[in-house]
Structure 1
Amino acid sequence: MQTSTPKSSMMIKNQLKIKKFYKKLESKQVIAISGGQDSIYLLNLIEHFQDQYQNKKNKEHTSYIYIDHQWRKDSYKQTIHIINYIRSIKRKIYVYQLPQNLLSEKLCRIYRYHLFTKHAIQYSNKFIVTGHNETDKVETFLNNFFRGSGLQGTTSLVAKSKITQNIYLLRPLLHLKRSYIYWACKKFYLPIWSDNTNYKYKFERNRTRCELIPYLKKYFHRNIESSINLLLKNCYRDNEYIRQSTIKLYLTIKHPRYIAINHKKFRKQNFTLQLKIMQVFCIYNLNFNPKQNEMVKILIDINTNTIYKYFKIALEDLQMNISQKWIYITLQI
C-alpha cells in the first residue's frame, strides 16, 4: 500500500483551502504574475480548478498582468517566455514596462500597485490576485519593523484587502511557505524563470531573505517564521480592535453637520485613540494622511492646553482650529 508523504498531504490540504477561495471568484479577475515560483504555482492552481470545474465563465473573466521592471539584461527574454506560456494556455496577458532608471524597491512597489489598480479600473476587474506567500509576510513584517512601523504597518500583508470601492486585492497563497511552493513547482515541472535580482544584496528584501532570516533560524529559533506568523495573527486581531474602536469613537464625537470633532470628548480618549481618530478625521474629510510626528506634536498641544482658549495650529496648507468645544479645519489665508 502506497503512503503519502507529508508534503503530498499538505498539498491536498492547501488545494482544499484554495478551492474554497476559488469558488468565490465569480467576477472578473486579473492575476499578477512575475515568472517566479509563486506566481507560476498560483497560475497553475487557478487553471487546474477552472479545468476541474469546467467553469467557462471564470475562464473568460480571468486574465494575467505582468510588470517588466527592466532591471536585467535578459528582461526582454523573460517577458517573451511569460507571453508564450500564457498563450499556450490560451489566456489574455497584459504587459507593462517600468522606467529603466527606477531602481528603488519602494518606488517600484508604488508604480506596480498603481498599474494594477489602473488596469483593474480600465478593464472592470473586481479582483487583483497576487502570489504572496507566508514567507513574504514574514519578510514584510521584518522590513516594516526596522522602519518603525506600528501595528497597521507590520500587519499590512493580509489575505484580502480593499483598494477602491469596487476593487479587492487577494493573496490566496498567504498560508503557504516558500519552501513548499518550491517543492510543488519541482514536482510538477513548472516553467519557472530564475530571477538573478533576487540574489543581489543591494535590495533590502534580499538581505532579509538570504541573510537575516537564515541567521535567526540558525542562532535563535529554528521555527522563527512560524513564531513571527503567530505574532502577526495576534497583532492583526489587536489592530482590528483598535480600528473598530476608532471608527465607533469618531462617529460618536464628530459634528452632525460640519467637519469638526468634539474637543472635550476627544481629550478624554487614550492618546493612541486620539492619534487614530485624528488620522481618520483628516483622511475622510481632507483626503490626506498627516505625518505621525507632526500629529503627535499637535496632540501634545491639544492635551496640554488646559485653559481651553481658542488657538491655531498650522497643518501643511491647512489650519487646525481648536476652540473650547470643537476641533475643525480651515484654509490658511
Structure 2
Amino acid sequence: MSQAWGDVHARIHTNLRQRLLLPNTARILIAVSGGQDSACLLKLLVDLQPHWAWRLEVIHCNHRWRDDANDNAEFVQALSHRFDLPCHVRVTEQPLTSENQARAWRYAIFGELARELGCAYVVTGHTATDQAETLLLHLFRGTGLGGLGGMAWSRSLGGAYPDIQLVRPLLDLTRPETAQFCQERGLDIWLDSTNANLDLRRNRLRLEIMPQLRQYFNPQADRVLAQTATLCQAEQDYLDQETQKHYATVVNEEIPGLAVNPLQTLHPALQRCLIRRFLQEIFEITPQFAHVEGVLNLIFAPKNSQSSPLPKGIVAWVDPPWIKFPDLG
C-alpha cells in the first residue's frame, strides 16, 4: 500500500484551492454509492480533511432497483465507519422508473439532508470520464455549446436548495485513475450489476465505445474530451453574458417580438442565443436547432415572411421593424 499522500492528493488539493471549491472548515455531505469513483472521493476527502478542517458526513441513496440494494447500503455504512464518519441512508418510498427520476430523487434527498445537517456543500464522485461520456451523449443527441459544456465543477443545487452548492472535485481524474487509486489504497468497492446493463446508453458508451476510443484514437480520450467540455463551458458562459447584455435591446415582451435592426448587427452565434432565450422565457419551450434557424432566417427576410411552425403551433412573421410572435396570453 502506498503512502497516505500521493500525486492524486496533490492534484485534488490544488484544484480545490485554485477553484475555491470547498473552503476551510466547511461542513460537507459526501454522496457515496460504494463504487470506485465515490470510494476514491471519500478516501481523498478523509485524507485531505486535516489540511482543511472540514466536517464530513456521508449520504447513500437506496433506489431499491436491485436485490442486493440493502447489502450495498450496509457496505457503504461499513466503509464510512472505517473512517469514523456518520453515514445516512435514504430509501425511496416510491418505485423509480427511470434514470432521470432517480437522479431528481437523489438530488432532492441531498438538499433535504444537507439543510438538516447544516451542510453548505454536497460533493459527488463525477470524473473526467463521466464528463467525456456526457459530452458524447449530448453530441449524439444534438446540442449546442451549452450541452457540450457538460458538468460544472460547482453549481447551486437549485430548486428548493439554491443556497447549497453541488461540487464535483474529481473532474480532473479519469475512471482508470480512480480504479488505480482504490487498488493502491486497498479500498474495497461495490460492483453495481446495473452498470453492466447495455440497454442503458451510458453503459454501452462506457463499456464498448470509450475503450475503443482509447485503443484506436487516443489513449487520453477521456481527458481530451473533458478538456473540450471545459472550453465549451467557458465559451458558453461568455455568450450567456453577451446575451444578457443585448436582451433588453432586442426583446419586446409586450408585442411579443424581436427587434430586427439590432439583431442584424450581431454575430449569428449571438443571434441564435437571443432567439433561444426568447423562446424559452416567453413561450416556455425548449427549441430545437430547426426552430431557432427558422426564426434566424427571418432576420434579413422581407415583410410578411413566416417561419415554419414552432412548438405549440407558434408561427413567427416579419412586420418591420419586428419579428412578431402570437400572444398566447
- Which residue of structure 1 lines up, in the alignment, with residue 92 of structure 2? 97
Q: Are 1:178 and 2:149 matched, yes or no?
A: no
- Which residue of structure 2 lines up, in the alignment, with residue 159 of structure 1? 153
Deviation at 1:248, TM superposition (A): 1.8
Within 1, Cα distance between the matches of 2:224 and 2:90? 38
Tell me: CA distance 1:210–1:162, structure 2 relative to 1, closer, same or farther (3 Å). same
Count of residue correspondences = 322
CA contact (8 A) 1:67 1:95 kept: yes
Q: Are 1:64 and 2:58 matched, yes or no?
A: yes
Deviation at 1:114, TM superposition (A): 4.3
- Which residue of structure 1 lines up, in the alignment, with residue 23 of structure 2? 24
Q: Are 1:216 and 2:179 matched, yes or no?
A: no
Deviation at 1:134, TM superposition (A): 1.0
Q: Structure 1 residues 122-131 or 200-209, which shifts more?
A: 122-131
CA contact (8 A) 1:63 1:91 kept: yes
Secondary structure of the structure 2 residue equivalent to 1:166: strand
Aligned runs of 1:293-332 on 2, under 5 Å? 293=289, 295-296=291-292, 299-300=295-296, 302-303=298-299, 305-307=301-303, 316=312, 324-325=320-321, 332=328
Q: What's the CA shift string for 1:169-203, capped at 9, x where partnerless?
A: 21101001212211221222223212122222122
Q: 1:266 aligns with which of 255, 263, 288?
A: 263
Tell me: CA distance 1:282–1:168, structure 2 relative to 1, closer, same or farther (3 Å). farther
- Which residue of structure 2 lines up, in the alignment, with residue 148 of structure 1? 142
Within 1, Cα distance between the matches of 2:317 and 2:186? 64
Aligned runs of 1:10-49 on 2, under 5 Å? 10-17=7-14, 20=17, 24=23, 26-49=25-48
- Which residue of structure 2 lines up, in the alignment, with residue 188 of structure 1? 185
CA contact (8 A) 1:70 1:98 kept: no
Instruction: Name the aligned partner's letter for residue 316 of structure 1.
Output: K
Secondary structure of the structure 2 residue equivalent to 1:66: strand
CA contact (8 A) 1:22 1:49 kept: no
Q: 2:232 aligns with which of 229, 232, 235?
A: 235
Within 1, Cα distance between the matches of 2:120 and 2:164? 5
Q: Provide TM-score, normalisation by structure 1.
A: 0.79
Tell me: CA distance 1:237–1:94, structure 2 relative to 1, closer, same or farther (3 Å). same
Within 2, Cα distance between the matches of 1:320 and 1:117? 41
Deviation at 1:303, TM superposition (A): 2.9
Tell me: CA distance 1:251–1:24, structure 2 relative to 1, closer, same or farther (3 Å). farther
- Which residue of structure 2 lines up, in the alignment, with residue 169 of structure 1? 166
CA contact (8 A) 2:301 2:318 kept: no
Deviation at 1:257, TM superposition (A): 9.4
Tell me: CA distance 1:226–1:86, structure 2 relative to 1, closer, same or farther (3 Å). closer
Tell me: CA distance 1:123–1:332, structure 2 relative to 1, closer, same or farther (3 Å). farther
CA contact (8 A) 1:34 1:67 kept: yes
Q: What's the CA shift string for 1:191-235, capped at 9, x where partnerless?
A: 321212222212211111111111122222333223323433333
Q: What's the CA shift string for 1:2-21, capped at 9, x where partnerless?
A: xx99xx75234224325525
Secondary structure of the structure 1 residue equivalent to 2:299: helix
CA contact (8 A) 1:41 1:185 kept: yes
Structure 1 portions without partners, runs of 5+ = none
Secondary structure of the structure 1 residue equivalent to 2:163: coil
Deviation at 1:281, TM superposition (A): 3.1
Identity %: 24
Q: What's the CA shift string for 1:13-52, capped at 9, x where partnerless?
A: 2243255256515554322211111112212222233345
Secondary structure of the structure 1 residue equivalent to 2:247: helix
Q: What's the CA shift string for 1:78-113, capped at 9, x where partnerless?
A: 1122234335524241413274461x3344334433
Q: Provide TM-score, normalisation by structure 2.
A: 0.79
Q: Structure 1 residues 124-133 or 79-88, which shifts more?
A: 79-88
Secondary structure of the structure 1 residue equivalent to 2:138: helix
- Which residue of structure 1 lines up, in the alignment, with residue 125 of structure 2? 131
Within 2, Cα distance between the matches of 1:85 and 1:181? 16
Aligned runs of 1:277-288 on 2, under 5 Å? 277-284=274-281, 288=284
Secondary structure of the structure 1 residue equivalent to 2:242: helix
Tell me: CA distance 1:201–1:65, structure 2 relative to 1, closer, same or farther (3 Å). same
- Which residue of structure 2 lines up, in the alignment, with residue 74 of structure 1? 68
Tell me: CA distance 1:23–1:155, structure 2 relative to 1, closer, same or farther (3 Å). closer
Within 2, Cα distance between the matches of 1:128 and 1:321? 47
Q: Structure 1 residues 138-147 or 65-74, which shifts more?
A: 65-74
Deviation at 1:328, TM superposition (A): 7.1
Q: Structure 1 residues 254-263 or 87-96, which shifts more?
A: 254-263
Within 1, Cα distance between the matches of 2:281 and 2:81? 44
Tell me: CA distance 1:306–1:121, structure 2 relative to 1, closer, same or farther (3 Å). farther
Deviation at 1:142, TM superposition (A): 1.5
Secondary structure of the structure 2 residue equivalent to 1:158: coil
RMSD value over aligned CA atoms?
3.7
